[in-house]
């Protein structure tokens, strides 16, 4: 039976605990698991049987989360890891190699821009940053060494919506996987696989958990990409020496990437999600649709008010008719444009700092997607490591403040914004 989203967010992947009957998924706080016998142990280590060996690789609590997020995204499988940044490296790990590159959107979270422009160079990888509103430029950037295309569905910090269908068409034409960071949208607002994405990554720290208690990441595998078609992805198509020549794609088919992510990625990179964090995330996901509806409703009300405020130069919320991305909402995010956007203040950098300092209900933190409304001045914090040109390209210039609208009373949020804006410009 095909269940609806609200049912899946509560039930997918979960069963009553067979030992105790516990209805909520238990926290399996254990390092290792007892084998039935020597043959059972050998079968597990040879990937001939699915089961639990060691919690760096697999854990029953984490397994429920993996199945739940995969179900919500419409994927074949998923791998959980320790953070959203870990998920990005884990997604690229089987695809890349020395001298290979990824085509990345200029509109990305500042930490991702730094990770892609600086840190991945230590692996011999590189990134080409392109404005994904220019589809011809995306296609032109691809060369023989390109191994993936990467973007965000709703871009952080500006809330810009990417034309995933157009980008997927370019990726498919080049025989490349499209990786979409769906953190800001969540599968409730956008299901990138339905728009042609090969892999979907999440920082579960944000909306999926929704309560600011954990860090976590997820990679969802669509199961639709032919890893053996071009010879460009030998980690998945060619014999794996560590498993006696096993070919992941030949052996596991649609689950090739998922099995590789666990059997090689988690085994050797060790970016493991702990079971308690998985438990908190599972509890958060149970109310995901309810929270996202309120995030959308509040963001629409607050952004409309901000757009009319005399101290505000611009509001980037895609849910506003004035947004150049407004026409993409119905097609890419049919249930709403999310709760994330930026505002540009008259008075520039100094006004932004005073505005942030005078907010009372909004929390000044380096996070988004919480039940609480959050705010940050990206140019002086999350995007501080970027050049002025990179900040502007990412939508995080010096006069810009990022706002993550929570699920509080909208009138209370407006009152707090109003008093802070007045103080910032007095």
Single out the residue in 224, 259, 284 at which a domain terminates.
284
Predicted local confidence at residue 18, as pLDDT? 86
Sheet holding 146-152, edge to edge: 77-81, 217-221, 199-203, 178-181, 146-152, 101-105, 126-130
211 domain residue, yes or no: yes
Q: Are residues 249 and 316 in the same domain?
A: no
Distance, CA of 162 to CA of 277 (rounded, Å):
30
Q: Are residues 280 and 420 in the same domain?
A: no
CB under 8 Å to 310, separation ≥6 — which residues? none
Single out the residue in 249, 284, 319 at which a domain terminates.
284
Q: Are residues 243 and 364 in the same domain?
A: no
Predicted local confidence at residue 426, as pLDDT? 84
Q: Are residues 385 and 363 in the same domain?
A: yes
Q: What is the pLDDT along the chain (426 residues), one digit of tens a residue?
A: 789 999 999 999 998 988 899 999 999 999 999 999 999 999 999 999 999 999 999 999 999 999 999 999 999 999 999 999 999 999 999 999 999 999 999 999 988 999 999 999 999 999 999 999 999 999 999 999 999 999 999 999 899 999 999 999 999 999 999 999 999 999 999 999 999 999 999 999 999 999 999 999 999 999 999 999 999 999 999 999 999 999 999 999 999 999 999 999 999 999 999 999 999 999 999 999 999 999 999 999 999 999 999 999 999 999 999 999 999 999 999 999 999 999 999 988 899 999 999 999 999 999 999 999 999 987 777 667 777 778 777 777 888 999 999 999 999 999 999 999 999 998
Q: Are residues 130 and 265 in the same domain?
A: yes
If one counts every other C-beta atom within 10 angstroms of the C-beta of residue 276, the result is: 14
Distance, CA of 242 to CA of 140 (rounded, Å):
37
The sign of the torsion formed by the CA atoms of 276, 281, 286, 290 equals: positive
Q: Are residues 278 and 334 in the same domain?
A: no
The CATH number covering residue 364 comes to 3.90.1150.10
Total domain count for the chain?
2
Distance, CA of 269 to CA of 239 (rounded, Å):
20
Q: Are residues 272 and 249 in the same domain?
A: yes
Predicted local confidence at residue 1, as pLDDT? 75
Q: Are residues 405 and 319 in the same domain?
A: yes
Q: Are residues 229 and 262 in the same domain?
A: yes
415 domain residue, yes or no: yes
CB under 8 Å to 188, separation ≥6 — which residues? 5, 72, 288, 289, 292, 335
Distance, CA of 81 to CA of 261 (rounded, Å):
10
387 domain residue, yes or no: yes
146 domain residue, yes or no: yes
6 domain residue, yes or no: no
323 domain residue, yes or no: yes
5 domain residue, yes or no: no
The sign of the torsion formed by the CA atoms of 102, 106, 112, 118 equals: positive
The CATH number covering residue 157 comes to 3.40.640.10
Distance, CA of 192 to CA of 173 (rounded, Å):
17
Q: Are residues 261 and 389 in the same domain?
A: no
1 domain residue, yes or no: no
CB under 8 Å to 96, separation ≥6 — which residues? 102, 120, 123, 125, 147, 148
Q: Are residues 147 and 226 in the same domain?
A: yes
Predicted local confidence at residue 176, as pLDDT? 98
Range of the domain at 327: 288-424
Q: Are residues 327 and 271 in the same domain?
A: no
Single out the residue in 264, 284, 304 at which a domain terminates.
284
């Amino acid at each position: 039976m095909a269940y609806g989203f609200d049912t899946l967010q509560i039930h997918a992947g979960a069963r009553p605990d067979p030992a105790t009957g516990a209805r909520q998924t238990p926290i399996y706080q254990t390092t290792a698991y007892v084998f039935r016998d020597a043959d059972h142990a050998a079968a597990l280590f040879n990937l001939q049987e699915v089961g639990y060996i060691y919690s760096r690789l697999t854990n029953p609590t984490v397994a429920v989360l993996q199945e739940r997020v995969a179900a919500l995204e419409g994927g074949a499988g998923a791998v959980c890891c320790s953070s959203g940044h870990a998920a990005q490296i884990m997604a690229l790990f089987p695809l890349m190699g020395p001298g290979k590159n990824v085509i990345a959107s200029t509109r990305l979270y500042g930490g991702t821009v730094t990770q892609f422009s600086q840190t991945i160079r230590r692996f011999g990888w590189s990134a080409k940053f392109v404005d994904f509103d220019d589809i011809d430029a995306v296609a032109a950037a691809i060369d023989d060494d390109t191994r993936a295309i990467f973007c965000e569905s709703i871009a952080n910090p500006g809330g810009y919506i990417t034309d995933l269908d157009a980008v997927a068409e370019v990726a498919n034409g080049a025989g490349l996987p499209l990786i979409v960071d769906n953190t800001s949208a969540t599968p409730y607002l956008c299901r990138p696989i339905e728009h042609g994405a090969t892999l979907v990554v999440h920082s579960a720290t944000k909306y999926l958990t929704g309560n600011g208690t954990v860090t976590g990441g997820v990679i969802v595998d669509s199961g639709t990409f032919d890893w053996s078609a071009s010879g460009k992805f030998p980690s998945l198509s060619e014999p794996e020496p560590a498993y006696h020549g096993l070919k992941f794609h030949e052996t596991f088919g649609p689950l090739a990437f998922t099995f590789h992510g666990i059997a090689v990625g988690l085994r050797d990179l060790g970016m493991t999600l702990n079971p308690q964090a998985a438990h908190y995330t599972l509890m958060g996901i149970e109310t995901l649709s309810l929270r996202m509806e309120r995030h959308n409703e509040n963001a629409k009300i607050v952004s409309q008010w901000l757009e009319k405020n005399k101290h505000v130069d611009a509001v980037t919320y895609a849910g506003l008719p004035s947004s150049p991305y407004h026409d993409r909402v119905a097609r890419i995010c049919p249930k709403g444009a999310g709760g994330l956007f930026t505002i540009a203040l008259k008075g520039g950098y100094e006004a932004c700092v005073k505005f942030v300092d005078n907010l009372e209900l909004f929390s000044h933190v380096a996070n988004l997607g919480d039940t609480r409304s959050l705010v940050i001045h990206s140019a002086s914090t999350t995007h501080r490591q970027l050049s002025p040109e990179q900040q502007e390209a990412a939508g995080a210039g010096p006069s810009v403040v990022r706002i993550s609208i929570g699920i509080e009373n909208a009138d209370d949020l407006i009152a707090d914004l109003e008093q802070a804006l007045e103080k910032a410009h007095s």
